[in-house]
Amino acid sequence: MCGIIGYVGYRQALPILIDSLKRLEYRGYDSAGVAVVEDGVKIAKDKGYIANLEATLPKFTGVVGLGHTRWATHGPPSKENSHPFYDCKEKIALAHNGIIENYADLRDELKGRGHTFRSQTDTETIVHLVEELYDGNLEDAVRKALGRCTGTFAVTVVHADEPDKLVAARNFSPLVVGLGSDENYVASDIPALLKYTDRVLYIMDRELVVLRPRSVQILDFEGRPVTREPQRISWSLEDAERGGFEHFMLKEIHEQPQAIHNTLLGRMTEVDANGFFQNGFTGVKLLACGTSHHASLMGKYILEEIAKVPTTVELASEYRYAPIPTERPLVLLVSQSGETADTLGAAREAKRRGCKTLGITNVVGSSLTRETDRTMYTRAGLEIGVAATKTFTAQVVALFLVAIRMGLERGTLDPEDANRLRDELRALPRHVQSVLNRAEDIEALGRTLAGARDMFFLGRGIEYPAAMEGALKMKEISYIHAEAYAAGELKHGPLALLTPETPTVAVVPRDRNYEKMMSNIGEVNARGSPVLAIGTEGDKDLARFVDHVVYVPKVRDILYPISVSVVLQLFAYFAARKRGCTIDKPRNLAKTVTVE
């Protein structure tokens, strides 16, 4: 997920580097840095936003430079671990995307020969290797250095002794050269270049390129020149990123099988937090805001059923300012971005109250990871649509993993049950896929009901938070007023609002609450309100009592909310599309709420 940019030409490099890095900003990153050739090589870098870096930047005026944004996948973001890196003598600066697999051996070897390392990164080994192999010609040194590295990379390098030159190389990580007049660019992604040029040269695996203001030379890793024709880019940014989907939200809904794969990846046989859940608490408290709060509400049912630990859920914004009870539960903080101001505040408050804390977030190195004792990543990938979809289902899956580990460590879940549960989790991507395969039917329903002014969402047990999340999605993107009720509460008020003009969405899988839900549907029917039900495949009875049914695959009770949520996401999406809403950017809403 890192981004690389390089410039050689006649203009000041710094503004071009910063501007290009900003073009990759929306994809997320945790630190950024630049190196400019002037009186040697100058580096400025820091963790955090590019705007922060920009504010503290010295006024470099050099005309050759490189920049980098890092999105940490391993290890924390910090100034030391940010790119670019210097060699020992601070004459070379290098930035890198990818992973050097044999870096540990190389590092030991280089340290043995007296090199001093300033960071924990694999990248820094490359710059010291280049330093050692440098003999007056940068491309030779880079070529030889990379010959000794195994792994994936795209690198950019500048040297103080060859001030009009920038060398870049690639193996598996993307790299493209942009051609200007008397100036040239290199970047990991075309969008970073499009403002400056539409003529590009694609660099292939195991190739190296030497950029000067008036020349670009491509070489293979044996040093032989390669000829390549420039290509003209004829597309715009926005369209490209959506990859054929009408909206990011739809793209992200369809990415859910893959996101769940990634959340489960490597965790079915072991969970990172070994021994963490064994003792030190008698109950669990989940704190979150918005959609993450709904995932947490599901987490209550999941933790209580699997790990058999009493669990409460609170809104982070309420917990922060509430009076302090004497108990010390384990506190789980759930935030997609890890930057939600109220959740961060709640994490600090929980610590102040002496509680053990675990953060669940999607963004590596986010602030939440520093405010909690342990972190679990949901690994759903970057989400651009403001309405959370794949990051929500990934949070719920992560809570299952926590519950299984907690149950095993506390001896409340027997290993055989844990095994069965894991096999059922493995099937989740398929269940989600089977809902996605029915998208056309759900689209028809979304269009049919898009004219409503109000809607009600009903569920019982763990399907109640699923109904709440469904209602939230509907409100957020279609602007239809939607309210969720625990179905048992119908007769305590909302029945008065039901009319033939207010459709009701009922979540009615064949679970332990089925009979009760059916009688609630009877109450709704009596008011003439059209009912859309979400039921279990093969439940033929249901169709006789409601107007429309969408089926989800049969699973154990607490696993239903995953596929149910996907149905409700698609339903909200298609209703909003029919209404012509700006789905990816709903009015008055921001992806990450960093204010209270």
Partner 1 sequence: MKAVVLAAGEGARMGPFTASEPKVMIPVGNKPILEHVVEALVENGIHDLVFVVGYRRERIQSHFEDGRKFNAHIEYTVQSKQLGTMHAVWEARELVRGPFLVANGSSLVDAQAVADLLGSGTAPALLIAESEAPEKYGVVSVSGHYVERITEKPRQPEGNLVNTGVYAFDPSVIPIMESLLGEGHYDLPSLLSALAAKTRVRAVRTKGTWMDALYPWDLLKLNAHVLNGIGDLQSGTIEKDVTLRGKVAIGEGSRIRSGTYVLGPAVIGRGCEIGPNVVVYPSTSIGDNVKLQAFTVLENSVVMDDVLVGPHSAISNSVIASGVRVASNLMASADKANAQVEGEWHVVDPLGALVGEDTEIRDGVVIEPGSVVGARCHIGPLSRVRGNVPNGTNVM
List the catalytic residues.
2, 591
Residues linked to residue 357 through DSSP beta bridges, in sequence order:
331
Give whichever of 1 and 315 is closer to partner 1, judged by the CB atom: 1
Q: Does 193 bind partner 1 (CB under 8 A)?
A: no
Site for partner 1 in 90-149 (CB under 8 A): none
578 — alpha (psi -120 to 50), left (phi > 0) or beta? alpha
What H or E segment, with its residue span, contains residue 526? Answer: helix 514-526
By CB under 8 A, residue 221 contacts partner 1: no
Q: How far is the CB of 133 from partner 1 (least distance, A)?
A: 26
Instruction: To the nearest 10°, report the CA torsion of 284, 516, 294, 394.
Output: 90
Q: Does the footprint of partner 1 cover residue 199 (CB under 8 A)?
A: no
- Which CB atom, from 271 or from 524, has the smaller least distance to partner 1? 271
CB of 214 to partner 1, least distance (A): 24
State the Cα–Cα distance between residues 241 and 190, nearest whole angstrom: 11
Using the minimum distance from each CB to partner 1, give the nearer residue, 327 or 537: 537
Distance CA(269)–CA(406), nearest Å, equals 14
Select the span of 82-90, 236-244, 360-368, 518-526 touching partner 1 (CB under 8 A): 236-244
What are the CA-CA distances from residue 442 to residues 10, 435, 438 (Å)? 56, 9, 7
By CB under 8 A, tell whether 427 contacts partner 1: yes
Smallest Cα–Cα separation from 507: which of 555, 448, 567? 567
In which element (H, E) is residue 176 found? strand 176-179
Assess 258 for contact with partner 1 (CB under 8 A): yes
Q: Where does this chain touch partner 1 (CB under 8 A) — which range of 72-80, 227-235, 334-342, 444-452?
A: 227-235
Assess 177 for contact with partner 1 (CB under 8 A).
no
Note whether 459 binds partner 1 by CB under 8 A.
no
Position among 39, 318, 423, 596 found at the interface with partner 1 (CB under 8 A):
423
Does 235 help bind partner 1 (rule: CB under 8 A)?
yes
SS3 (DSSP) at 20? helix
| Interface segment toward partner 1; rule CB under 8 A; list 263-271, 334-342, 358-366, 569-577 | 263-271
Residue from 433, 448, 525, 592 touching partner 1 (CB under 8 A): that is 433
Given candidates 261, 374, 475, 527, which one binds partner 1 under the rule CB under 8 A? 261
Closest CA to 46 of 37, 56, 38: 56
Least distance between partner 1 and beta carbon 380 (Å):
13
Task: Select from 251-259, 407-415, 558-566, 585-593 the region that touches partner 1 (CB under 8 A).
Answer: 251-259
Task: Tell me the closest approach of the beta carbon of residue 202 to partner 1, in angstroms.
Answer: 5
CA distance 35 to 59: 12
Under the criterion CB under 8 A, does residue 267 sit at the interface with partner 1?
yes
Q: How far is the CB of 351 from partner 1 (least distance, A)?
A: 31
**Contact indicator for 146, 122 with CB cutoff of 8 Å:** no
The one among 240, 444, 526, 543 contacting partner 1 by CB under 8 A = 240
How is residue 385 written in tokens? 């649509």
What CA–CA distance (Å, rounded) separates 564 from 57? Answer: 49
Residue 343 and residue 334 in contact, taking contact as beta carbons nearer than 8 Å: yes
251 is a contact residue toward partner 1 (CB under 8 A): yes
| Residue 245 in contact with partner 1, rule: CB under 8 A | yes
SS3 for 330-352 is: EEEEEECCCCCHHHHHHHHHHHH
Which of 50, 51, 48, 43 lies closest to 77 in space, CA to CA?
48
Minimal distance in Å, beta carbon 68 to partner 1? 17
Establish if 190 lies at the interface with partner 1 (CB under 8 A): yes
Q: What's the min distance (Å) between Cβ of 137 and partner 1?
A: 28
Give the range of 141-149, 259-267, 350-358, 464-472 binding partner 1 by CB under 8 A: 259-267
**Binding of residue 266 to partner 1 (CB under 8 A):** yes
CB within 8 Å of 276: residues ≥ 6 apart: 356, 358, 373, 374, 409
**Identity of the residue, 99 or 486, whose beta carbon is nearer to partner 1 in the bound complex:** 99
Q: What is the DSSP string of 107-175?
A: HHHHHHTTPPP-SS-SHHHHHHHHHHH-SS-HHHHHHHHHHT--EEEEEEEEETTSTT-EEEEEEBS--
Q: Give residue 575's region: left, alpha or beta (phi > 0; psi -120 to 50).
A: alpha
> What SS3 class is residue 4?
strand
Which listed range, 110-118, 233-241, 330-338, 510-518, lies at the site for partner 1 (CB under 8 A)?
233-241
Nearest distance from residue 13's CB to partner 1, in Å? 25
Answer for which of 63, 439, 474, 505 binds partner 1 (CB under 8 A) is 439
Q: What angle do CA 525, 531, 532 make, to 5 degrees?
A: 160
Helix H, strand E, coil C: the string for 465-510 is HHHHHHHHHHHHHHCCEEEEEEHHHHHHCHHHHCCCCCCEEEEECC
Q: Is 195 a binder of partner 1 (CB under 8 A)? A: no
> Is 56 or 437 the residue whose CB approaches partner 1 more closely?
437
426 binds partner 1 (CB under 8 A): yes
Site of interaction with partner 1 (CB under 8 A): 174, 189-190, 202, 204, 228-229, 231, 233-235, 239-245, 251, 254-255, 258, 261, 264-269, 423, 426-427, 429-430, 433-434, 436-437, 439
